[in-house]
Amino acid sequence: MSNALLPPADSLTSRGGGVEREMADSGSGSQRSHGTVISRTPPHYSLPLSTPATLTSGGITDRDFANEFQSEPFTAVDTLLLFSRLELVSKSKATQWVFPLLVQERGEIRSHLYRALLTLGEPKAILDVALAAYEQYGNEDRLTRAASLLMDLGARAFPVLRILARSNRSECTFFVPIIAGLSGVRPQDRLQALAHLARNPHIAVRHSLLEAAQALPSPEAISLLHILSQDPDEEIAEEARECLTHLEA
Amino acid sequence: MSVLEHSDQVTMDTRMVFLRVMAEASAHNIWLKPEQTITDLMRKPFGFAGEPISVYRVVVGSEETRAIAAHYLTLNRSSYQTVWALRIELQDLHTIGMSVRETPGDTGVADIDTKHHDLIGDQATFELLTRHLYDRIRHGEDRLRVVGTTQLVHQIQDFLNAASGIVSEEARARCLRLAHLGGL
């Protein structure tokens, strides 16, 4: 689905996919995980190891980061976080570089990457890079990892989730439980976003909403179930009516 | 051996499979419909980048449900939703020449994290795997496993009752949130 569904100010950029490919190409020869049964060709490092001092003088690029990540993944991530604190690289850019690795890595480094993304705290960048990369490369892990991060970021992720809810994208299905369960969101704001999802053209989104509604407090659940009880898909409409009967009894 | 015991042994399914757990409730339906394109079928479970694909090597049945519930914790949700999984057999991988490697899982459930593996292949190999699975399903093989909210609730409670050391603190916190806010 095209990003053109969203207005320009809200647009979820396509840059993420490009970044992901650059990172994947750069890291295609890495030996990353424990317990490897098969092996890959070791990477060729074209740049020397960067240190905070050298990078401070010359800035840091995604290529620098990718190269350093191949040899010293934990240090590379920590250095990037330091650079973002010093405003030598934007948090948004750093997020674009780190997020793709979250899908590819395993074990402790994955946990470290996850924590780094929470530290960077850029919900819009997370959603942008995840959606753009999913559009280009598929693999729903990109969306489930992004959804998990947004859940951990809490209420500050809600503005981007609200934009997503209005987008009519099919990918909303992965974020419905997060929008329904995010803490610290005003009930009327949540309900407004969920009501948009109840009119999403993709059945899977509305089906997901039907399940999520059952965990909501009664007033919100009843409002949503009323909308879903008029759903063009008879299965969804019937189940919504059954739930309503149960709740209103 | 009684007739009942004999019958139990005959019907017990001890197949070992690699489970690819999927988060979107009704997305398994595409695998049951005729004339789907390979591109559409592989988009969500495998993608097109030829990257390692996370699976769990488990015995069909309750261990399968436990792995799916443990994976559910990584979705970081506060409510229960139906999930499903593709069953991939070792023979499938042999047939198409796909590799698998043992890697650590991150569910926080110790016995399930030790069963985590990655499928390794390029895009063409994942296309072959997708085609092969679609073909096996078309021939009537049982390659889709759906786990509903009732099974998830039971497993999450099981994780909460587990002895210390089995479930990490973070996973336990996610279980508690589901138990308190899950709506069931």
Which DSSP state fits B109? B
At residue A134, the 3 state secondary structure works out as helix
pLDDT of residue A247: 87
pLDDT of residue B184: 56
pLDDT of residue B25: 86
Tokens representing residue A111 in the block: 């946990």
pLDDT averaged over 10-residue windows placed end to end, chain B, 184 residues: 52 86 93 96 97 97 96 96 97 96 96 98 97 97 96 96 93 94 66
Cβ(B44)–Cβ(A140) below 8 Å? yes
Q: Of chain A residues 93-112, which have a CB less than 8 A from chain B?
A: 103-104, 106-107, 110-111
Return d(Cα A90, Cα A92) in angstroms, integer.
5
Whether A36 has a pLDDT exceeding 50, the answer reads no
Cβ(A132)–Cβ(A17) below 8 Å? yes
Cβ(A51)–Cβ(A82) below 8 Å? no
Return d(Cα B157, Cα B163) in angstroms, integer.
12
| CB contacts < 8 A (A, B) | 124
Cβ(A40)–Cβ(A30) below 8 Å? yes
In terms of pLDDT, which residue wins out, A95 or A246?
Answer: A95
pLDDT of residue A58: 55
> Side by side, which strands form the sheet with B16-22?
B99-102, B116-120, B53-59, B16-22, B83-89, B144-147
Return d(Cα B55, Cα B53) in angstroms, integer.
6
Average pLDDT over residues A203-227: 94
pLDDT of residue A68: 94
Task: Kindly give the interhelix angle for B149-161 and B62-74, rounded to the nearest 10 degrees.
Answer: 80
pLDDT of residue A94: 97
Residues of chain B contacting A111 with CB distance shorter than 8 Å: 106
Q: Write the residue in A104, A107, A137 that is nearest to B104 by C-beta.
A: A107
Contacts of B121 (CB under 8 A, 6+ apart): B50, B98, B99, B129
Average pLDDT over residues A170-192: 96
- Numbered residues of chain B with Cβ closer than 8 Å to any chain A Cβ: 22-27, 42-49, 51-54, 74-82, 99-104, 106, 116, 118, 120, 149, 181-184
| Residue A66 CB neighbour total at 10 angstroms | 23
A82 touches chain B (CB under 8 A): no
Tell whether pTM > 0.80: yes
Q: For testing the chain B interface, which of A144, A174, A182 should be mutated: the one with the most B CBs within 10 Å? A: A144
Question: Apex CA B98: angle with CA A21 and CA B17, to 5°?
Answer: 110
Strand runs (DSSP E) across B90-169, as ranges? 99-102, 116-120, 144-147
Residues of chain A contacting B28 with CB distance shorter than 8 Å: none
| Residue A4 CB neighbour total at 10 angstroms | 8
pLDDT of residue B5: 53
A212 touches chain B (CB under 8 A): yes
Residues of chain A contacting B24 with CB distance shorter than 8 Å: 140, 173-174, 204, 208
At residue B119, the 3 state secondary structure works out as strand
Query: Please, what is the average pLDDT of chain A?
Result: 82
pLDDT above 90 covers what percent of chain A? Answer: 72
pLDDT of residue B181: 79
A138 touches chain B (CB under 8 A): yes
Residues of chain A contacting B180 with CB distance shorter than 8 Å: none
Whether A51 has a pLDDT exceeding 70, the answer reads no
Q: CA of A203: how far to CAs of A110, B148, B156, in Å?
A: 33, 18, 28
Return d(Cα B73, Cα A190) in angstroms, integer.
23
* pLDDT per position as a tens digit, A150-176: 999 999 999 999 999 999 999 999 999
Helices (H) then strands (E): counts for chain B:
8, 6
